[in-house]
Amino acid sequence: MAVDFAHVLKIDARFSRPCAESRKEAVLPTGTDRVRRKPLARFLALAGFAMALASCQMFTPPDVQESGFQPSSKPVTVDNVAANSKLAEMAKAQHPRILATYGGEYSDPKLERMVAKVVGSLTVVSANPSQTYRITILNSPNVNAFALPGGYLYITRGLLALANDSAELAAVIAHEMGHVTANHGLQRQQLEAEEGFATKVVSDVLGDSPTAKAALIRGKLRLAQFSRNQELEADGIGIKSIGEAGFDPFAAGRFLQSMSAYTDFRSISGATDASLDFLATHPNTPQRIDLAQRHARQFGAPGVGTRDRDAFLAGIDGLLYGDAPEEGYVRGETFLHPGLGVSFSVPDGFIIDNSAAAVTATGPGDIAIRFDGVSIDRNRSLTDYIRSGWVAGLDERSVRQETINGNEAATAHASAEGWQFGIAVIRAGGQVYRLLTAAPSASTSLDAVARSVSGSFRILSAAEKAALKPLHIRVVTVRPGQTMGSLAAQMVGVDRKLDLFRVLNAMSPGAAVSAGDKVKIITDR
């Protein structure tokens, strides 16, 4: 079963997250359609992390030459790309949309110099050394990397936080360069055009018959397999590049393992198997790790090449981790926004995702929660607002005027397309906030969850707002007697501290730290 909050509750651009300066995060338009998710899956996708290398997004490749490598300390522009080029026009159109989607550019000269050094090393050995590559570090906690026409490469601060040395960063960047040099974007675009034409012919001739459905499925499988092959080819190109540049070629496999561990850490169930989705547009991680290690062995046994770990860790020391201050903070099962001065909590077992589109949460029994805000006339009653038509399937008899923790509020119920909804609208500080809870029609937990969430909404005190600080990656040196447990205990603002410490530092459960080691922790200092 699946539900689309935006459809059932008629959410549009007027009902965005409650922060005027916040970015609008959505599925990034790439010109390469992904396999369409069911509606609830699209909604819940906001709670997932887009994994670089495992789900990088590829655009049409560049054919434009520029002079000289320019590090990311200079803002990325496309003004000097060849005029009248369709590729340049695509880059010019997509760049601001990417910045808006991923929170803009993350500026840190020390970090940018470190990344630029890695890019420069790879440019020298790339298949097209005259191609200029420009890096933009995106201000997003998501783990992602992708490319634009003209040699523009994007990498999120979330990915930088997960990597552990320069060789792993080089593997990610070289993979994206591999997409560019192999013309994957153009190949993908051509194949999709062919598949789109074939789909239209099948639909026109065979209609909705079983034969037509089988033909369409075969087309989807061909397209998915094509994309998987592209990813594996880019892996091979990237590993060859980092090996030739003197980096540890086994870094690609290590980082794939780190991403797999991070995916499991973020998963509600803790156990996902991408290989079960045969229409997935990318190969499963075990296959990619195995192939990556095979490519790496062409350069020698493990230990060959440089990792340049100290330089990398120095570059990311102080890196913003998780939510940006203007987006509010998630602390365990509570969301707090110091700028707006509001907070709410979700029940045990729910996981909050503070995306740029909205604050969402998912929990047991396929229950989902969405928090956002809307500006309405101060003189308009909240019960009238609920009845104004933005809720599909509204039960008019359920609309109630209430007071929640001293704030004017209204609640209601709705049902549509196999789902039931609990709706709470709260006015606080001149802003109206909405807490929307969805559960399958057969669920008996909706009312309890919806009441718990709406009842937790409150105004933050001045002291609480002042105490909230952003989290950062800090690199510390292990002292004698310290253990993974004692180091993880130093971390603040995160749950499952020991598990996250292991993931961030690529340590297995049986691993141990030694005095003098450098490790990453998360702190608000």
- Give the integer Cα–Cα distance in Å for 512 and 325: 34
Angle at which helix 251-266 crosses helix 210-244, to 10 degrees, equals: 130
pLDDT band at 117 (very low <50, low <70, confident <90, very high): very high
- Give the integer Cα–Cα distance in Å for 147 and 60: 9
pLDDT single digits (tens) 242-280: 999 999 999 999 999 998 888 888 774 333 333 333 334
Q: What proportion of the chain, given as a percentage, has pLDDT over 70?
A: 68
| pLDDT for 75 beyond 50 | no
Check residue 183 and give its pLDDT: 58
pLDDT single digits (tens) 6-16: 555 554 433 34
Do 99 and 138 meet the contact criterion of CB atoms below 8 Å apart? yes
pLDDT band at 324 (very low <50, low <70, confident <90, very high): confident
In a 13 Å sphere around the CA of 342, the CA atoms on its Cβ side amount to 27
| pLDDT for 25 beyond 50 | no
pLDDT band at 94 (very low <50, low <70, confident <90, very high): confident
pLDDT band at 327 (very low <50, low <70, confident <90, very high): confident
Do 412 and 405 meet the contact criterion of CB atoms below 8 Å apart? no
Looking at residue 372, what DSSP letter applies? E
pLDDT single digits (tens) 189-213: 544 444 444 444 444 444 455 555 5
Check residue 450 and give its pLDDT: 97
- Between residues 365 and 6, the one the model is more confident about: 365
| pLDDT for 123 beyond 80 | yes
pLDDT single digits (tens) 274-310: 333 333 445 667 888 999 999 999 999 999 999 999 9
Q: Where are the domains of the chain?
A: 80-320, 332-462, 472-523
Q: 379: burial class by Cβ within 10 Å (0-12, 13-18, 19+)?
A: exposed
Q: Work out the average pLDDT over 330-349.
A: 93
- Give the integer Cα–Cα distance in Å for 457 and 459: 7
Q: Work out the average pLDDT over 208-234.
A: 58
Taking the domain 472-523, which CATH number applies?
3.10.350
Check residue 407 and give its pLDDT: 97
pLDDT single digits (tens) 38-59: 333 333 332 222 222 223 432 2
Check residue 91 and give its pLDDT: 63
The least confident of 6-20, 104-118, 456-470 is: 6-20
CA distances 64 to 89, 132, 152, 468, Å, are: 12, 9, 11, 46
pLDDT single digits (tens) 415-452: 998 999 999 999 998 899 999 999 999 999 999 999 99
- Give the integer Cα–Cα distance in Å for 307 and 118: 11
pLDDT single digits (tens) 487-524: 999 999 888 899 999 999 999 988 999 999 999 999 99
- Between residues 68 and 81, the one the model is more confident about: 81
- pTM passes above 0.85: no
DSSP 297-330: HTT-STT-SB--HHHHHHHHTT-EESS-GGG-EE
| pLDDT for 395 beyond 60 | yes
- Give the integer Cα–Cα distance in Å for 47 and 361: 7
Matching fold, domains 332-462 and 472-523 = no
The chain-wide mean pLDDT, for the chain, equals: 76
Check residue 442 and give its pLDDT: 95
Check residue 233 and give its pLDDT: 83
Query: At a CB cut-off of 8 Å and minimum separation 6, what does 194 contact?
Result: none
| pLDDT for 354 beyond 60 | yes
Locus of tokens 């998501």 = 142
Query: At a CB cut-off of 8 Å and minimum separation 6, what does 288 contact?
Result: 53, 54, 231, 232, 235, 256
The least confident of 118-122, 186-190, 375-379, 481-485 is: 186-190
Check residue 31 and give its pLDDT: 25
Q: Work out the average pLDDT over 70-91.
A: 44
Angle at 292 between CA 288 and CA 294, to 5 degrees: 120
Q: Work out the average pLDDT over 331-356.
A: 90
pLDDT single digits (tens) 157-172: 999 999 999 999 999 9
Q: What CATH class is the domain 332-462?
A: alpha beta
Check residue 412 and give its pLDDT: 97
